[in-house]
Structure 1
Amino acid sequence: MKLLRALLVDDEQLALDRLHGFIDDIGELEVVGTASTAREAKDAIEQFRPDIVFLDIQMPGGSGMALASDLPIDDRPEIIFVTAFEHFAPDAFDVEAADYLLKPVRFDRLRQALTRARRRIKLAETERSSAGVDQSGNDYLKEVWIATRGGQVRLEVGMIDWIEAAKDYVLLHTSTRSYLHRVSMNSLEAKLDPRELMRVHRSAFVRPDLVERLERPGKGSLNLVLRDGAIVQVGPSYVKEVLGRLGAKQD
């Protein structure tokens, strides 16, 4: 089994020693570094590129929760929070942490958290390798793994009708339901086949085949009305390209 690289972050040395001892007993992790503040943790993540970060929440100079929220979405290690406080748990899962351990950490819960993190890492690797290659040699995403409270579900890109930004997340709309997924719009644009889902706004992608009619609410503005009645605004800088793609008359 491949050893995963771990970073331990806590301002209490006893907590670090306990965690390090359990990890040594499990034998599935290589501890690449430790940190005692959020600033040190950020620097260590950039330096060591760990697979997993065991992260305290309340530390001098900054919150572990804030640090996790600020890490790049598409290149972030799995986060396992380790804290003495229960009430941060909802926030932990809002930032898609792999697990949430209460101090003093129990060996069985640590092993369970590690199993969960390893599973998530494997799923992410599967997602990256599932991209198909078109004739021009570009890699395009064929499916997306959506994180849920109970695990993850797989969504085929071909089922997505349109996408809209929602702060740090995106909403993936299908004909039956919508899925909340943590990824940036620019990252999606690099991974999606533009023939399937074209970007029409800095906050939206649309499947061209589903555009039923165009609306022009004002000079220079353009809305797309989809088959299911959804109305998607086209960004000013995208209007010419979108009209050309749809074969519609330009002003």
Structure 2
Amino acid sequence: MTSLRTLVVDDEPLARNLLKACLEDIPEIEVIGECQNGREAVQAVLELNPDLMFLDIQMPGMNGFDVVKALQADAMPMVVFSTAYQQYALDAFDVHAVDYLLKPLEEDRLQRAVERALDRFQKADSEIENKTPLIGAIDRIAKKIHRQGITGQDAPPAPEKPAGPKKIAIKDSETVTMVPETEIDWVDAAGDYMCIHVKGTTHIMRCTMKELLGKLDEAVFKRVHRSTIVNLERIEQVKPHTKGEYFLFLDCGERLKVSRNYRESIKEFLSGAA
């Protein structure tokens, strides 16, 4: 069985201990060290040569991206970033991170990150592809982090919502597609994957229904079935079905069923059809 020699880096003792405790329950992980700041992390990587590093982004002094910048490509382990700020997800992918974890930590999300690391480790070629991040992207990201003053001790609140439509980052292999939230028609679930339907195109996103709903505007996107989310602004007609169920007809031509358990989520639309 493949075992990944793993380093845990976080300036917060509680977060570090929680992550270690969760990793101890995963047989494919062997925690070989822990660090409380970026400088310790760089030294530990050079001395221990880990396969995988769980790396906090917001740390005082040397943040997570600074750590990656300080390491040479041939010494770079696979990286899973951890952060309390959703806006750094795309930056994490820019440097070929295996994954990123949003705090507070969710164990099922951690398990999926480990599975991705194992998959990348097993697919790595003789040139150690899994240890080659896009180092050139680090300067831009590190400068942005320092400009915004993001550190572990004095992290400001999340930035105000930017002008223009919010975008959802959908990662497919090494490509990230930014989809404007307002262009999403509806979403259906297929296990741990979300099929996001946008103007006749379907994008596949690896996440849970709960995770995706947390990223979308709750006033516009509603769950109408255990496996379906709809953009309320796409609804053209609502027709009653049987036993308290309804059909929604969207402006893209799609027909969706509203189960009885979720009819309250679109009650403003259903009021005229009841």
TM-score by length of 2: 0.50
Matched, 1:72 2:108: yes
- Residues 52-67 of structure 1: pairs in structure 2 closer than 5 A: none
Structure 2, gaps ≥5 residues long = 8-18, 37-52, 57-76, 80-105, 146-157
Aligned to 1:132: 161
Q: Would the aligned equivalents of 2:234 and 2:250 in 1 still touch at CA under 8 Å?
A: yes
Q: Residues 116 and 220 from structure 1, CA distance in 2 versus in 1: closer, same or farther, beyond 3 angstroms?
A: farther
Q: Would the aligned equivalents of 2:185 and 2:197 in 1 still touch at CA under 8 Å?
A: yes
Aligned to 2:180: 156
- Determine the C-alpha separation between the residues in 2 that align with 1:202 and 1:176: 22
Q: Residues 131 and 144 from structure 1, CA distance in 2 versus in 1: closer, same or farther, beyond 3 angstroms?
A: farther
Structure 1, gaps ≥5 residues long = 1-8, 21-31, 56-69, 82-91, 134-140
Aligned to 1:10: 3
Give the C-alpha shift of residue 174 in structure 1: 0.8
Give the residue type in structure 1 aligned to 2:132: Q
Aligned to 1:101: 124
Q: Residues 40 and 101 from structure 1, CA distance in 2 versus in 1: closer, same or farther, beyond 3 angstroms?
A: closer
Matched, 1:183 2:203: no
- Determine the C-alpha separation between the residues in 2 that align with 1:189 and 1:44: 36
Q: C-alpha offsets along residues 193-250 of structure 1, whole Å, 9 cap, x if unaligned?
A: 1222122122111111211112333231111111122111112111134233454232
Aligned to 2:191: 167
Instruction: Provide the identity percentage.
Output: 20
Q: C-alpha offsets along residues 134-166 of structure 1, whole Å, 9 cap, x if unaligned?
A: xxxxxxx92111112342111111111111111
Aligned to 1:50: 54
Q: Residues 162 and 130 from structure 1, CA distance in 2 versus in 1: closer, same or farther, beyond 3 angstroms?
A: farther
Question: RMSD in angstroms over aligned alpha carbons?
Answer: 4.8
Q: Would the aligned equivalents of 1:98 and 1:117 in 2 still touch at CA under 8 Å?
A: no
Matched, 1:145 2:169: yes
Q: Would the aligned equivalents of 2:245 and 2:260 in 1 still touch at CA under 8 Å?
A: yes
Aligned to 1:207: 231
Give the residue type in structure 1 aligned to 2:109: I
- Determine the C-alpha separation between the residues in 2 that align with 1:166 and 1:200: 15
Q: C-alpha offsets along residues 110-140 of structure 1, whole Å, 9 cap, x if unaligned?
A: 5425759989x99xx9xxx68828xxxxxxx
- Determine the C-alpha separation between the residues in 2 that align with 1:110 and 1:183: 22
Give the C-alpha shift of residue 172 in structure 1: 0.8
- Determine the C-alpha separation between the residues in 2 that align with 1:200 and 1:249: 16
Q: Would the aligned equivalents of 2:225 and 2:257 in 1 still touch at CA under 8 Å?
A: yes
Q: Would the aligned equivalents of 1:213 and 1:225 in 2 still touch at CA under 8 Å?
A: yes
The total of aligned residue pairs comes to 180
- Residues 216-227 of structure 1: pairs in structure 2 closer than 5 A: 216-227=240-251
- SS of 1:50's equivalent? strand
Q: Would the aligned equivalents of 2:187 and 2:197 in 1 still touch at CA under 8 Å?
A: yes
Give the C-alpha shift of residue 171 in structure 1: 0.8
| Bigger proportion of residues as strand | 1
- SS of 2:54's equivalent? coil
- SS of 1:200's equivalent? strand
- Determine the C-alpha separation between the residues in 1 that align with 2:123 and 2:176: 17
- SS of 1:206's equivalent? strand
